[in-house]
Amino acid sequence: MQQAEEALISMRKLGKVFLTEDVETHALYEIDMELHRGEFLSIGGPSGCGKSTLLSIMGLLDSATEGEYILKGQEVGELSVRERSRLRNREIGFIFQAFNLIGDLTVRENVELPLTYRGMPAADRSQRVEEALEKVDMSHRMGHYSSQLSGGQQQRVAVARALAGSPAILLADEPTGNLDSKNGMAVMDLLHELHGEGATICMVTHDPRFASFADRSVHLFDGKVVSAEEAERLAKADEPVPAAAE
C-alpha cells in the first residue's frame, strides 16, 4: 500500500490571540488544516473573520499563540527568528493586494531584490528574473518603474517576484482586490496557469468567482473553520459561531 504524501503545510489546533491593554481578541481558534504539494486552496469568509491573519501565520510574517504549525516537516514554533526568516525567503512567495512594489526600483530590480537577500550570484539572479518575467508576459517592461504600469501589470510583476525564488508555496492575499474585473480575471487566469504547471497556491479571496479556480475551499467565520453551508447560514443570520463541543 502506497504511503500518503506528507502535507506541505499542516496546522493542528492553531490559534491566535491579540492582547491590547485589558482586551483579549481571539482572531483564530483551533484551526485544523492541511495543504499538499500541487494544491490550489482558497480561504474565504466575511471581513474580519481571520483570513489574512491565517495567511500571515502561514507565511511566517506572524506567529500563532497556540497549536502546531508544520511547514515542510519543520515545526515552525521551534525555529529562531533567523531560521524563520530564511525559511520564508526560500520557501514562500507572496502576492499582496496592494502589489507592494518599490517605486524607485525598475521592474527587473523589484523582481531581483528577494534573490539578492539570498546572496545568489548575479548571473543566477539575472536568469531567474528573466524567466519569471517571461512567464507573466512582462519581459518587455523590464526597465519600467511601477508608476509606468497599469494595476494589472503591477500585479503581474508581483507574481513574477514571487515566482523568481522557486518557492514551495505561493500565498496570495486578495490578489485581485485592487483590480477591475477584467484585470482581476487576467490575474486569476495566470494563477490557474501556474497551478496547472505544478505550483502550490493558497489564496485569500472574498469573491466566489475567483474561489472557484481553486481545487477546494476553506471557510472561516469568527476565526473558526466552518463548512460552506454553515458559513452561508451564519452570514445570512449574522450570528456567532457556536462554541466548540467539549
Tens digits of residue pLDDT in 213-224: 999 999 999 999
pLDDT, average across residues 164-179? 93
- 183 inside domain: yes
Give the per-residue pLDDT at 4.
Answer: 53
User: Residue 14: inside a domain, yes or no?
Assistant: no
The answer to whether residue 127 sits within a structural domain is yes
11 within some domain = no
Is 170 among the domain residues?
yes
Which pLDDT does position 25 carry in this prediction? 87
Q: What is the pTM for the complete model shown? A: 0.87
In the predicted structure, residue 67 carries a pLDDT above the cut 90 = yes
Mean pLDDT within 138-161: 95
In a domain, 178, yes or no: yes
Full domain range(s) for residue 117: 38-61+80-217
Compute the average pLDDT of residues 168-190.
Answer: 93
- 207: domain CATH number is 3.40.50.300
The answer to whether residue 89 is domain-embedded is yes
How does pLDDT run across 85-121, given as a tens digit for each residue? 999 989 999 999 999 999 999 999 999 999 998 889 9
Q: What local confidence, expressed as pLDDT, does residue 118 receive?
A: 87
Q: Which of 4, 12, 28, 51 is nearest to 203 (CA)?
A: 51
Q: Tally the domains of the chain.
A: 1
pLDDT above 60 (res 242): no
Helix (H) or strand (E) holding 30: strand 23-35
- Please tell me the distance from the alpha carbon of residue 53 to that of residue 107, in angstroms, as a whole number: 29
Q: In angstroms, rounded to a whole number, what is the distance separating the alpha carbons of residues 97 and 47?
A: 15
Quote the CA–CA distance of 28 and 210 in Å, as a whole number.
24
